[in-house]
């Protein structure tokens, strides 16, 4: 069972790119972030034509997340618990059935688009940290239920020095602040596994800015993560980053990360 996460940076602008990658990679589940579309105009028919069931939590022009699955989904929930006043569309979760030929359990898949937090010194950074606190509370509650869970998405957090091309370039950015990184470590302390780091200690990137030739210079960072509960981490057999997609025409500035599970 392949579970992928990808910030597509606008479904309208990247639709053909997204469809091309889904046809090429054919993940069982795809978590898409920053769809920048309300639910009604989201082009679900194009994804359904590839065999996916589609659930979205959209917002006009900003944010927005989507879950695509080749198998049925149930118990779909939109919005991260803990703040009823938060109107930003950044979180959707569902229970996903495994492929018919698999012995894997039903998996709770959560697709998240964590706030950026920049610029520092504004209300955006406390909002980011508050959102992460709510995510930790949600994750802890799921652990108590012992449900296989993956928290998949664009975390807007650079975990450590292996995950960026230049530490100096990011010291004053919200993505690399001690508070941001510390909250991610708290998630690991609860028992969640960073899927990529479970299989590789090498430097890997998932994002290259559009500016200053970042892609051509390989000036990237790793901010897209698959965080797996103990019940699911035991099933992890591999992770790949489809970074070749960044070189396609009209690419997102992020690339897909795919976790491979087997019973």
State the pLDDT confidence band at 35, using cuts at 50, 70 and 90: very high
Average pLDDT (30-36) is 98
Average pLDDT over all residues of the chain = 97
Q: Which of 113, 138, 155, 176 is catalytic?
A: 113
Give this prediction's pTM. 0.97
CATH number of domain containing 103: 3.60.10.10
Name the 3-class secondary structure at 152: strand
Query: pLDDT band for position 184 (50/70/90)?
Result: very high
Q: What are the Cα distances from residue 62, in Å, to 3, 57, 58, 106, 225?
A: 24, 11, 8, 31, 21
What average pLDDT does the segment 7-23 reach? 98
Q: Give CA torsion, residues 240, 243, 248, 250, to 10 deg.
A: 110
- The stretches of the chain forming alpha helices (DSSP H) are 11-25, 44-48, 124-144, 178-190, 195-199, 214-217, 230-233
The C-alpha angle with vertex 142 and arms to 92 and 206, in degrees rounded to 5, equals 50
Structure tokens at 202: 């090498």
Q: For 148-175, how does the pLDDT look when each residue is reduced to its tens digit (9 = 90+)? A: 999 999 999 999 999 999 999 999 999 9
Strands 149-154 and 29-33: unpaired
Residue 149: predicted pLDDT? 97
Give me the pLDDT at residue 181, please: 98
Of the candidates 57, 164, 176, 186, the residue with the CA atom closest to the CA atom of residue 116: 176
State the pLDDT at residue 62. 95
Domain count, the chain: 1
Tell me whether residue 210 is one of the annotated catalytic residues: no
pLDDT, tens digit (0-9, with 9 covering 90-100), for 47-63: 999 999 999 999 999 99
Mean pLDDT for the stretch of residues 58-84: 97
Is position 86 annotated as part of the catalytic site? no
pLDDT of residue 255: 98
Q: Which of 154, 163, 173, 194 is catalytic?
A: 154
3-state helix, strand, coil in the chain (%, to 5): 30, 25, 45
Question: Residue 148: left if φ>0, alpha if ψ -120 to 50, beta else—which one?
Answer: beta
Q: What is the pLDDT of residues 193-231, one digit of tens each?
A: 999 999 999 999 999 999 999 999 999 999 999 999 999
Angle between helices 124-144 and 178-190 (to 10 degrees): 0
Short-list 258, 242, 63, CA closest to 156: 63
Domain that holds residue 250: 2-261
């Amino acid at each position: 069972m392949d579970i992928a996460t990808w910030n597509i940076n606008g479904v309208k602008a990247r639709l053909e790119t997204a469809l091309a990658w889904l046809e090429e990679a054919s993940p069982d589940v795809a978590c898409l972030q920053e769809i920048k579309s309300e639910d009604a105009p989201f082009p679900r028919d194009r994804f359904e034509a590839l065999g996916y069931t589609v659930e979205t939590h959209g917002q006009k022009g900003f944010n927005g997340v989507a879950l695509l699955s080749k198998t049925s989904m149930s118990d779909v929930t939109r919005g991260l618990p803990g703040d009823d006043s938060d109107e930003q569309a950044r979180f959707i979760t569902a229970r996903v059935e495994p492929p018919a030929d698999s012995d894997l359990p039903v998996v709770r898949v959560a697709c998240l688009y964590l706030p950026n937090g920049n610029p520092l010194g504004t209300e955006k950074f406390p909002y980011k940290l508050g959102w992460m606190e709510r995510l930790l509370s949600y994750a802890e509650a799921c652990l108590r239920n012992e449900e296989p869970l993956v928290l998949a998405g664009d975390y807007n957090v650079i975990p450590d020095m292996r995950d960026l091309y230049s530490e100096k370039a990011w010291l004053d950015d919200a993505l690399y602040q001690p508070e941001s990184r510390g909250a991610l470590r708290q998630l690991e302390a609860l028992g969640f596994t960073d899927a990529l780091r479970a299989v590789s200690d090498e430097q890997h990137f998932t994002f290259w800015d559009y500016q200053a030739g970042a892609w051509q210079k390989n000036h990237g960072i790793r901010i897209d993560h698959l965080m797996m509960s103990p019940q699911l981490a035991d099933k992890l057999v591999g992770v790949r980053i489809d970074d070749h997609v960044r070189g396609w025409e009209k690419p997102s500035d992020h690339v897909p990360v795919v976790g491979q599970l087997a019973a």
